Structure formats: structure tokens, C-alpha cells
Amino acid sequence: MGVEVVVDGLSKSFGAQTIWRDVTLTLPPGEISVLLGPSGTGKSVFLKSLVGLLKPERGKIVINGVDICTCPERELYEVRKLFGVLFQDGALFGSMNLFDNIAFPLREHTRKSESEIRRIVLEKMEMVGLIGAEEKLPGEISGGMRKRAGLARALVLDPEIILVDEPDSGLDPVRTVLLNQVIVDLNAQIDATILIVTHDINTARTVPDNIGMLYRRNLVMFGPREVLLTSPEPVVVQFLNGRPDGPIGMTEEKDTGADELARLSEISVPPMMPQLDVTPGMPERTAVRRRKERVLRQLRSLAPSAQQEILKTLTPEELALYGFSAPATGAWPQQTEPIAPTPAPLPQDEVADVPQQVRPTPYPREPEAPPWGGAPEQTAEPVESSRRRWFGRKRGEQ
């Protein structure tokens, strides 16, 4: 399975220009994560930092116990072998046909025989749906095919971490969905840790297990898709719906005060879009189950509306597994005793406490309406500090 990538307090600037600061997140192993952000927020800089092509001034990136920000070049070289990267434009050699482009890393970095190389290249071309196009030159094919060729080339060294820079840029919506499907199927087949950076909200809402949002030099939030897609936080709602109104202004200067945040708390959260499933016949994506277990462990800390939305997405089998009864039409699931024995018992230390934690029904009292529409537990926090939490600290502040 793919490896975990731990990013801790990472800051990067070029001269006087801060790109982002204090970015902390963990890419869970074997899961697909998306980093969403407007153009120019430093998404590509982040990917290049992860592979050690750019050096952040502060913070750590720990992979297999090695901090690649400070490790010797020799160790960085070894860690880099774990990565497969699809750059924004596919970065193919224009004068080489697709076969040779995809074979390139194998010929450069391994001593494999040509027959072995052929076997690997054709296997990866099949994974991305390019069989038959071996002889084509990059200039003779569509942008979508070029991206898939770039992806196949990123796969030939069997990476455990795959970074994809804007898979959807320059593609029409149909080709974007096709490429997204390839990525989801790929994850099912090789269980690699995948990070996609994009400014496409649709990709963020349908593809990943985890979503992060980069905005105004800060990581606004990072977490499982269920948690972000049901979050009533105005900034998250606005981000994931691409709304022009909201705390995210068009310019740095346009900031919002408490009044505007209060008004935005009336924004209703749209129903969660279903996640793109694997193509029939593909192996199950084990990442989905790991993510759901994680979400259920933190279910109680979420807003009541979010809890309801999340429970509605569970199948009857999953509800039984976690100790909820199947929902009656239109109603949200009520908790019951866990069905014993459960169809596939989960490890004791993993989720055994989940049904206990959420019994009795969470939030039996009428929650106090918070000024910005969040969960009751969070209402104790003043708007100003809540706002600061989402936008990060101001320069010079602790």
C-alpha cells in the first residue's frame, strides 16, 4: 500500500513573497486527497516541495521516517523513487512516440531488458486506456490522451505516492470525468497514496477521500470528504460551491467582518454529491472503508446537520456494522444496538467504540444557534477567533 506523507508547519516563500505558511496535513496512506485552491495559490509549488524540487524554509515533510526538507541528497534520491508525478502539461517529449515517452524512466533509471520494458509499458498503457496508441506522437493526440500518457509514464516505476497537477486543466468536462475515473480505478488497483491539486470544484467534490483547501497563503481546512462537504462553515461552503458571495473575496483587501459571516450562516449546505465509484470489474477501493471508519470516529464532533447527511450516505450494511438501524424513507437513521455478530467485525482498537460514543442520540437538546451556523460545541468560540482559525494567523501573531 502507498505510504503516509506527513507535512508539518511547512512554509514557503520566494524572496519577499510568501506563497503559503504553516501548512500541516497528513495524506493518509492509500487514499486519494485533493488540494483545492484558486490559481496562483501555490499548489504547484506545494507538489514540487513534496518531491524535493523546491525547498521550503520552515517545517517538515516526513515520508517513511525521513524528513525530505533536511535529509542528505542521497536519502532524498531514494525517497524520490517512491513518487510518480504527472505535471500539468503531461511534460511529454514532443519528438518521441507515446511508447518511448512512457518507457523513458525505465530506460533511464533501471537496467531492465527491452522485453521487460515492453511488458511494463503496455501494462500501464492499458491501465490508462491507451492501448493501440503506442506509435502516436504527443502532437497527434488530444489533451486528455496526453494527460493519460503522462500518467502512464508516472506509473512505470511502480510509485507508492502519485502526485497529479491539475488533471482537469485544459480538458472538457467529459474528458475530465474520464481521467478522474482512470485515477479512481488506478487507486483501486495499486492502492497508492494519491494527491491531486486542482481548482476544479467538481473534481474536489466527486473524486477524493480527503479535501484540503489552500487560500490566501493558508491551508484553510483538510479532512475527509464527508466532513468538508457537510461543513456549515461559510468559507468551506463557499469554496466547495464556487459561490461569488462569501468570506472569500476577489481581492486580498476585500475581507469580511462578523456581520457578513453572520449573514452567510444562512447559506444551506447542498446535499453531498456521491463519490465516483470504481468501474465495474475493478477491485474494491479499500481506502473508502478506512476513510469512513475515520469519519465515524469523529462523527459526534460534527454539526447535527452534518451528522445526518453523513449517516444518510451509509448503506444498510454499513449502518448495521456501526450500530445504526436502516433509515425509514425520509427519516434519518436512528441508533440501535449493533447487530451481533456483525458481517465483518472491525478491529477492536479501530472503531469498536463508535456506537457507544454516539449513544444516545447526539444533540438531544435544541442547539443554540451559533453566529456563523456551526456546531453547538463551537459556539463558545467568538466569531473573530473562528474567523482567524479559518484564515490563519495574521503575520506576527502567535
Residues that bind ligand ADP (CB under 6 A): 14, 19, 37, 39-45
Rounded to a whole number of angstroms, the minimum distance from the CB of residue 42 to Mg ion is 8
224 binds, among ligand ADP, Mg ion, none (CB under 5 to 8 A by kind): none
- Alpha carbon separation from 247 to 226, 262, 297, 380 (Å, rounded): 22, 10, 30, 21
Residue closer to ligand ADP (CB basis): 16 or 174: 16
Strand partners, 307: none
Q: φ and ψ at 97, to 5 degrees?
A: -70, 170
φ, ψ dihedrals at 14, nearest 5° = -115, 110
Q: Which does 373 bind (CB under 5 to 8 A by kind): Mg ion, ligand ADP, none?
A: none
Q: DSSP state, 324?
A: B
Alpha helix ranges (H) inside 81-172: 98-109, 114-127, 143-155
Interaction between residue 169 and Mg ion (CB under 5 A): no
Q: Which is nearer to ligand ADP, 36 or 287 (by Cβ)?
A: 36
What's the min distance (Å) between Cβ of 161 and ligand ADP? Answer: 18
Strand, coil or helix: 165: strand
Contact 162, 154 (CB under 8 A): yes
From 11, 18, 44, 298, residue interacting with Mg ion (rule: CB under 5 A): 44
Angstrom distance (rounded) from CA 109 to CA 106: 5
Give the Cα-Cα-Cα angle 306, 316, 240 (nearest 5 degrees): 30
Instruction: Choose the one of ligand ADP, Mg ion, none that binds residue 235, judging by a C-beta under 5 to 8 angstroms depending on kind.
Output: none
The angle, 0 to 180 degrees and rounded to 10, between the axes of the packed helices 98-109 and 143-155 is 20
Candidates 43-51, 229-237, 296-304, 386-394: pick the segment binding Mg ion (CB under 5 A): 43-51
β-pairing, 58-63 vs 193-198, is unpaired
Q: How far is the CB of 279 from ligand ADP (least distance, A)?
A: 29
* 44 or 298: CB nearest Mg ion: 44
Smaller CB distance to ligand ADP: residue 16 or 328? 16
Query: CA end-to-end span of the chain, whole Å?
Result: 38
> Which one of Mg ion, ligand ADP, none interacts with residue 90, CB within 5 to 8 A by kind?
none
In the complex, minimum distance from the CB of residue 201 to ligand ADP, in angstroms, rounded to a whole number: 15
Name the binder of 14 from Mg ion, ligand ADP, none, CB < 5-8 A by kind.
ligand ADP
- 105: Cα within 13 Å, side-chain hemisphere: 23
Q: Which is nearer to ligand ADP, 40 or 271 (CB)?
A: 40
User: Least CB distance from residue 256 to ligand ADP, whole Å?
Assistant: 23
| Residue nearest to Mg ion according to CB distances in the complex | 44
Nearer to ligand ADP, 41 or 180 (CB): 41
Rank residues 12 and 387 by Cβ distance to Mg ion and give the closer one. 12
Question: Which option in Mg ion, ligand ADP, none does residue 2 bind, with CB closer than 5 to 8 A by kind?
Answer: none
Please state the φ and ψ torsions of residue 234, each to the nearest 5 degrees: -50, -45
C-alpha grid cell, residue 40: 496562483
CB 392 within 8 A of CB 22: yes
Residue 77 Cβ, how far from ligand ADP at the closest point, in Å?
21
Q: Name the residue nearer to ligand ADP (CB basis): 12 or 294.
A: 12
Q: Among 311, 308, 314, which residue's Cα sits nearest to residue 367?
A: 308
Q: Which residues bind Mg ion (CB under 5 A)?
A: 44
